[in-house]
Amino acid sequence: TGELMPEKIERADSLAWATDNKTIFYVTEDAVTKRSDKLFRHVLGSDKTDLIYEEKDELFDIGTGRTRDNAVIMLEAFSKTSTETRYIPAGNPDAEWKTIIPRQPDHEYDVAHRGNLFYIRTNKGAKNFRVMTAPVSDPSEKNWKEFVAHRPAVKIEGIDLFADHAVLAEWENGLEQIEIIDFKTSKTHRVQFPEPVYSVNLSNNREFKTSVVRYNYQSLTTPSSIFDYDMNTRQATLKKQTEVPGGFDKANYQSERVFATASDGTKIPMSVVYRRNVKLDGSAPMLLNGYGSYGISIPPSFSAARLALLDRGVIFVIAHIRGGGELGEPWRDAGRMMNKINTFTDFIACGEHLIKNKYTSKDRLVIQGASAGGMLMGAVANMRPDLFKAVVAQVPFVDVLNTMLDASLPLTTSEYIEWGNPNEKPAYDYMKKYSPYDNVHRADYPAMLVKVSLNDSQVPYWEGTKLVAKLRDYKTDHNPLLLKVNMGAGHGGASGRYDAYHETAFDYAFMLWQMGIMN
């Protein structure tokens, strides 16, 4: 009828409809801990709301959803390193929830459904994941059959199922890939992309009985572009491309992939973009961005706002350092826990490579990172303050030891798997070596802009504030040291569209000032 129902659900994080079109399952977020921990069932038009499941383990969150074939509702409990999935038939909302695979330490998996089979993307015996099938009637491990084998150089990020095809989202050599498997012929192929540096991800493909998969393609020089790809004919059709105001012409820009050599000999990929008229003689200003935590991959995607830098002659670089996920799970493991310092030395190696190869110089190199990337900024500023002209650290996680020793904070215990548990002496001693706040020392530091948000529940505002206060006491230079507090924002910064633009403009103004660009 188009009428709004009177029911109102608050703090819902994910939801799934039963196929009766009146029963809804939804997960709520706890207001204090920020964990998604309760699953409810509600029938429209009734006062009845049932608590179906509550996740008691504070290391786990939960989420719910319906499979693409509309046959199954899933409930997934997940920590940083473990998963447990339950399910019911979507047509029987009162059914008893069954567990597909009980949670086990260091076992991560997710499940898709087609016909009488579950397709399980699992890291059991497969660091970069493989795909197994299991009968719905008994999906225990004894009934698993291999569908896609593990490959040491390819990480399987996800699997989407259609009536006649399976679609794999993968990372290989630091680039995203889409692989198609034809169920009828068992033949596989990869979608081909035109540029050496790009980002691609599967869109929200809702149809199950279709030969067309939709994906979003972009690069450092190509705006976000939606394609429909026919998995039978292998033809891609552009459906929409984001318009870029101001007469943008991608032919004016050059993107490339270069590699730095880390202190242990590891090759670190970087994605680079600049205007074609920029001279690579060491005189160009540069913005070097990095993150390198949680296995999160930073794709080389397009930014219209970034053109304000590129058109002023700035070279933009993403350092795909260890701790991220660009080269698979081993890449992540090489930059977390007792290997975390690799993240920082990788970033320093990237800066040194770019200077040595005449992309920029020390007095024109500005670096930027947010959240865990803000930790990166603080760590490298302590380790090599001479290497950078300026640092922009946004909502930075910099008081590592004090935060990780305070189990009352919402995210502390769930973060042990990333940084270590400082209640254990080896982890404490290692974290103390790099924690930015604990390693501020008497030295000439680069110019710094530290930005915090008053309502940040993930990285409290006092972390960056404490860092600035300590720097003011210790640093021996007269370079600018700015603290900007956003009084109305959370961890993600300003939420309004134009407020976000104002924040970006502020950051760019600081960067350009430090680069010596005043127009």
Q: Which one, of 375, 380, 368, lies nearest residue 418 by Cα?
A: 375
d(CA 64, CA 81): 18
- Tens digit of each residue's pLDDT (9 = 90 or more) over 279-295: 999 999 999 999 999 99
- Tens digit of each residue's pLDDT (9 = 90 or more) over 200-237: 999 989 899 999 999 999 999 999 999 999 999 999 99
* Model pLDDT, residue 459: 79
491 catalytic? Reply is: yes
Instruction: Report angle CA 475, 380, 394 to the nearest 5 degrees.
Output: 85
Q: Which helix (H) or strand (E) holds 160?
A: strand 154-161
Asked whether residue 495 carries a pLDDT value surpassing 70, the answer given is no
β-bridge mates for residue 511, sequence order:
none
What count of Cα atoms within 13 Å lies in the side-chain half-sphere of residue 203? 18
- Two tokens, residue 500: 């976000």
Q: How confident is the model at residue 500 (pLDDT cuts 50, 70, 90)?
A: confident
d(CA 406, CA 421): 11
d(CA 295, CA 333): 8
d(CA 157, CA 170): 5
- Tens digit of each residue's pLDDT (9 = 90 or more) over 440-463: 999 999 999 999 888 766 777 788
- Tens digit of each residue's pLDDT (9 = 90 or more) over 165-185: 999 999 999 999 999 999 999
The CA-atom distances, in angstroms, between 287 and each of 58, 76, 274, 464 are 38, 39, 11, 21
Strands 315-319 and 286-290: parallel
How does DSSP classify residue 494? Answer: -
* Model pLDDT, residue 488: 66
Question: 27-31, 99-103, 257-261: which has the minimum mean pLDDT?
Answer: 27-31
Q: In terms of DSSP H, where are the helices of 272-371?
A: 307-310, 329-333, 341-356
* Model pLDDT, residue 105: 93
Asked whether residue 84 carries a pLDDT value surpassing 90, the answer given is yes
Asked whether residue 413 carries a pLDDT value surpassing 90, the answer given is no
* Model pLDDT, residue 471: 98
The percent of residues above 70 in pLDDT, for the chain, comes to 97
* Model pLDDT, residue 2: 82
pTM of the model: 0.90
Average pLDDT across the chain, whole number: 94
- Two tokens, residue 84: 């447990």
Of the residues 37, 61, 456, 507, which is catalytic?
456
- Tens digit of each residue's pLDDT (9 = 90 or more) over 100-159: 999 999 999 999 999 999 999 999 999 999 999 999 999 999 999 999 999 999 999 999
Of the residues 14, 371, 435, 453, which is catalytic?
371
What domains are defined for the chain?
1-124+133-148 (2.130.10.120), 254-515 (3.40.50.1820)
353 catalytic? Reply is: no
371 catalytic? Reply is: yes
DSSP 72-134: EEEEEEE-SS-EEEEEEETT-TTSPPEEEE---TT--EEEEEETTEEEEEE-TT-TT-EEEEE
d(CA 245, CA 304): 8
Question: What integer is the mean pLDDT of 337-343?
Answer: 98
Which 3 state secondary structure label does DSSP give 52? strand
Q: Which one, of 378, 411, 409, 413, lies nearest residue 393 by Cα?
A: 378
* Model pLDDT, residue 494: 62
Strands 267-275 and 315-319: antiparallel
